[in-house]
Amino acid sequence: MEHKHINLKLEVWRQQNSKAKGDFESYEVKDISTEMSFLEMFDVLNERLIKEGKDPIAFDHDCREGICGMCSMYINGRPHGPWEANTTCQLHMRAFNDGDTIVVEPWRANAFPVIKDLVVDRSAFDRIIQAGGYVSVNTGNAVDGNAIPIEKDKADAAFAAAMCIGCGACVAACKNSSAMLFTSAKVSHLALLPQGDPERKSRVVNMIAQMDKEGFGACTNTGACEAVCPKEISISNIARLNAEYLSAGLTS
């Protein structure tokens, strides 16, 4: 693959805190290797800003391996940028051309207040999990993995739902800032497995109640969430969540 260097113009959202009024600031970055990741490009820019005595751009990151879900940036109108099934840390600068202008914003949702610049508070997701995304287990040694036989198609579907990394791209892409894809993935992967059965009814009721309390919007099934999900979580999980919720309501 050809190794090139490109020059870019960045329009980056700067905001001191959740109460402050934010605005875009323009930056030029030169001689950026196309082999760099998007976050490495930001590192280069921030090192320059620090040398110039300016405030570096705050952005969230941890693993830089597409696992932690923290690198939440809205890049040119799409969560995590132009590549499919991709987090921002996995996006490389070869996705852009010399002379491009790249617009970078934080997630926009009332339930995700801006902490600073591109960093948002995603603890609403943690509270949805705390409301019911767990199973009752006896303490002691882990149970043998094969102790409970599980049908292959159910195991596969549970694994696919459990791939969710809680990044919030689904909320950012949704016109209603709905958290249904996230919540349905968390409900699904436990509802599909026998270990999830004891809390099955209380889980879905409590998690949806918490989701509504956090101020996420309603789902209108436009599918924008699935389209931008870095782990390609299926919106069929939302149908399963609705079925679980209905069943819990009818039988409680």
- Domain 123-251 homologous superfamily, CATH: Alpha-helical ferredoxin (1.10.1060.10)
For the segment 122-126, the average pLDDT, to the nearest whole number, is 98
pLDDT, position 79: 98
Four-CA torsion 216, 221, 227, 233, nearest 10 degrees: 80
10-42 tens-digit pLDDT:
999 999 999 999 999 999 999 999 999 999 999
Mean pLDDT of 121-141: 91
**Confidence (pLDDT) at 2:** 66
Higher pLDDT, 1 or 116: 116
Instruction: Return the domain boundaries, the chain.
Output: 5-115, 123-251
CA distance linking residue 47 with residue 56, whole number of Å: 8
For 160-219, the pLDDT digits (tens) are 999 999 999 999 999 999 999 999 999 999 999 998 999 999 999 999 999 999 999 999
- The sign one gets for the Cα dihedral 123, 127, 128, 129 is positive
Which of 64-68, 120-124, 148-152, 242-246 has the weakest average pLDDT? 148-152
Looking at the predicted structure, is the pLDDT value of residue 155 above 70?
yes
Architecture of domain 5-115: Roll (3.10)
Indicate the pLDDT class of residue 7, thresholds 50, 70 and 90. very high
Confidence (pLDDT) at 46: 98
Sheet arrangement for strand 78-79: 23-33, 5-14, 101-105, 74-75, 78-79
Mean pLDDT of 120-124: 98
Q: Is the pLDDT of residue 45 over 70?
A: yes
- Work out the mean pLDDT of the chain and round it to a whole number: 95
- Identity at 137, one-letter amino acid code: V
Q: What pLDDT is stored for residue 87 in this prediction?
A: 98
pLDDT at 148: 85
pTM for the full predicted model: 0.94
Beta-carbon count within 10 A of 27 CB: 16
